[in-house]
């Protein structure tokens, strides 16, 4: 493992490329992404459909690895870890929330939230696992839904379960890929409020994919991806005459 002395951000991508291969055809999707995210940031990632947002999130979440480039996560270069090593790392410091909730069917809210604890290194007893999951379900406002199955929950409730599940291993980073894409505006707002709290109160670093400017407004910083590259303009715009 490489080590460096200078202070570093929680997330550092250096010239990340990801090319998919469809038979003989190489499809370059990410073409040199360089990005730093400091611990405690709430960042929105925007871009049109097909621009590579999910591809980038999957790399950030160690669900996939880049074709080339470096990914420094919490001071460690992780782009060339094996799938197993990536899974362990992910389980330890990353929570993931998806647009389609991805709860297990015919499984209760409680069981869904407890599921990632199966792979945890904490060695909790069943009772401790249960208490932690119930505590989180309470926190996301679902104390009275713990025994409901996925099919018995509304979209907003399912996403709350998914958020509780993403938090159950106390991640430092929460990655959310269009988490409000399937929710009405009021429910979206409630989910975004939860994210903001998790960020400001608990200091969880959040990266949120959206194509909705209103959703991006909840973030401290917006980055935009286009044609496989991040666009300039990461800094807030200063209008002439303001300074
Ligand atoms: P976004 O999330 O911004 O809509 P994606 O990252 O899902 O975009 O996809 C970016 C591009 O990569 C799209 O053109 C998509 O068709 C292509 N793509 C995504 N996943 C794969 C894959 N597994 N194999 C081949 N092409 C893919
Ligand atoms: Mg996507």
User: What number does the ligand 1 atom closest to the CA of 47 have?
Assistant: 3
Domain boundaries, position 215: 11-236
Q: Is residue 174 part of a domain?
A: yes
CB-facing half-sphere around the CA of 77: CA atoms within 13 A: 10
Average pLDDT estimate for 183-211: 95
Identify whether 81 is part of a domain: yes
pLDDT at 123: 87
| Ligand 2 center to 139 CA (angstroms) | 28
Closest CA to ligand 1's atom 13? 50
Residue 211: predicted pLDDT:
87
Going from the C-alpha of 45 to that of each of 32, 73, 206, 243, the distances in angstroms are 16, 18, 10, 28
Q: Give the pLDDT mean for 16-43.
A: 97
First to last CA, the chain: 45
Which range is least confidently modeled, 91-95, 118-122, 213-217? 118-122
- Percent above pLDDT 90 for the chain: 88
- 60-85 pLDDT, tens digit per residue, is 999 999 999 999 999 999 999 999 99
Residue 88 counted as domain residue: yes
Q: Residue 152's pLDDT is what? A: 97
Is 41 inside any structural domain?
yes
Q: Is residue 83 part of a domain?
A: yes
pLDDT at 243: 44
**Closest C-alpha residue for ligand 1 atom 21:** 20
Distances (CA, A) of 31 to 71, 84, 118: 14, 26, 37
- Average of per-residue pLDDT across 173-197: 95
Q: For the segment 133-159, what is each residue's pLDDT rounded down to a tens digit? A: 999 999 999 999 999 999 999 999 999
| 243 within domain boundaries | no
Tell me whether residue 4 is in a domain. Answer: no
Note the pLDDT tens digit of each residue in 16-28.
999 999 999 999 9
Q: What domain count does the chain have?
A: 1
Give the DSSP per-residue string, 95-151.
Answer: EEEETT--PPTT-BHHHHHHGGGGG-SS---HHHHHHHHHHHHHHTT-GGGTT-BGG
Task: Tell me which residues have their CB closer than 6 angstroms to ligand 1.
Answer: 20, 22, 27, 29, 47, 49-55
Tell me which ligand sits closest to the C-alpha of residue 29.
1
Q: Which atom of ligand 1 is nearest to the CA of 58?
A: 6
Q: Is residue 118 part of a domain?
A: yes
The domain that holds 25 is classified in CATH as: 3.40.50.300
CB-proximal residues (5 Å) to ion ligand 2: 53-54
Closest CA to 87 of 147, 26, 169, 149: 169
């Amino acid at each position: 493992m490489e080590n460096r002395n200078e202070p570093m951000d929680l997330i550092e991508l250096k010239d990340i490329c990801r090319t998919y291969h469809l038979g003989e055809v190489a499809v370059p999707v990410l073409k040199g992404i360089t990005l730093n995210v400091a611990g405690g940031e709430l960042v929105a990632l925007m871009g049109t459909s097909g621009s590579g947002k999910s591809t980038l999130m999957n790399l950030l979440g160690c669900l996939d690895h880049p074709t080339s480039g470096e990914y420094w996560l919490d001071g460690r270069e992780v782009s060339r870890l094996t799938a197993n090593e990536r899974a362990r790392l992910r389980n330890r410091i990353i929570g993931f929330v998806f647009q389609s909730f991805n709860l297990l069917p015919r499984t209760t809210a409680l069981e869904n939230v407890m599921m990632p604890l199966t792979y945890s290194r904490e060695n909790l007893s069943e009772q401790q696992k249960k208490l932690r999951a119930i505590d989180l379900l309470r926190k996301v406002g679902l104390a009275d839904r713990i025994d409901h199955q996925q099919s018995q929950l509304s979209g907003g409730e399912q996403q709350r379960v998914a958020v509780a599940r993403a938090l159950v291993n106390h991640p430092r980073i929460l990655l959310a890929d269009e988490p409000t894409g399937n929710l009405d505006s009021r429910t979206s707002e409630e989910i975004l409020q939860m994210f903001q709290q998790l960020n400001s109160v608990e200091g969880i670093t959040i990266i949120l994919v959206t194509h909705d400017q209103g959703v991006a407004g909840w973030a401290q910083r917006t980055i935009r991806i286009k044609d496989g590259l991040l666009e300039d303009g990461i800094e807030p715009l200063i209008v002439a005459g303001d300074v």
